[in-house]
Structure 1
């Protein structure tokens, strides 16, 4: 990746003998939404603090917009908007007054801050609440106001640390859709830190699985699933009208297709795991054999399956990773 907006090189942070972040290398491009996915205690927030120049790395570098965050933290802060998981406002002030105050702190004139604040309130869907005190805002409204506060200085990068914490499902969907809209329309680079798998999958272009201070793997959902489910990265269920006999006379012919890895027949459903997408070839074969195909469904592996599969393949990890695996397992069990 040429000229990444975020470039972390061997980033490491130690607290005594504990490595909170361990040799992290990561590049994020302009206009990309990257999800930093991991359980609480994985090192996500420590990474963010180093990117903002709020804590020094033990070794390595955090370059943001080409600027070293450790040696030049103030220029980095001018280009980055940061939204923590818990946002505070002046409750006695209106939403508009809070935004204008933040704008002035970022060097805007009063008139410019006022204009931008009004525009942003409309953008985030709170145009009718500009004169309401922040104290009466719901959690979801405060998160939207927090996003406006981040955007008022027109940053090149926004970093969101657990931004949907405590928001109802409908509010989460709207908030994430707004993030994606801003990224696409304004070319904003977004780093979204979360331990909510489904939310990350909804909005991010790429995902990094972060556990025990290390980037365990990263890529888009298709890349991650192909790496972990190499023999079954494309799984197709084909439903026919009538139940099939076992053994099925055409099973061998189906398995002779080089991409087919596994085959399972359950009454009138044939489940086929393939190394690449040969769904059209499979359907043509079924039709050629005189079978009435009434349904075709391709299974896609989401982050839930990816994360579980990753830990299944890494059972020799140390105790810290076992703790991370346990946290995620409890999370998945509650879903």
Structure 2
């Protein structure tokens, strides 16, 4: 056992390796009230890459009126240069896609809802018309050779509608895959999900003919269930997990959506289970400690607090 690392005790039946999809620079910072300088954002992306994270979502091309924190998206991607072309960005619609295409980016993501109410509040669309909005965005992105990921929010519970039927999530998810998305990220946007729900949702997708390899999980830790739910997802065969460095983040359109699963907490658990992830925990903790200093408050991550 190395100081600062857990004892490794593998658990039979879990994946040998997982991909951590880092969302901190976009999802982690979008809710910050004080504007973070673009130079800090660029350094954050570069430090996360240097720490070994294989995918780092950099920003969102949403209209600045809705998310002022990300109004510097073009400037950030320009600073990141050629290396930045491989970082995913969120595009809410065709206008956002146009901005990504102009910069020659290679990976985009769209953000849909599994519930009617959140589709209306977040996208100003119905559950049905959100799909019509996404169709030309995905088609044009794919025609341009881009990879497209689809986020599905409110997959476990909705603050207005309550528990969400897995069949509803599967219906929205399958239709996004049919549009051309390569992967679905299933979000527990308000953090109310439990391990049994995770297992049931993965099985519902399997029953509908969707392989678990096309699914990712995006957990929030509002009720302290993110790691428990991650473990359930690992046992169900999921191998891609979204996480945010330092546990930052939330959703500006759902007040009960608190911080994302902290990347450091995820790495600690995966390391202890003997699952390969390729991330240098020390470098990651140093990055989140530095970012906490830039933001002027301690990191929400338990592992960062323990090791910093």
TM over 0.5: no
TM-score w.r.t. the length of structure 2 is 0.39
TM-score w.r.t. the length of structure 1 is 0.37
More strand by share: 1
Taking CA–CA contacts closer than 8 Å with sequence separation of 6 or more, which of the two structures ends up with the larger relative contact order? 2
More helix by share: 2
Please tell me whether Structure 1 or Structure 2 has the larger radius of gyration of its CA atoms: 1
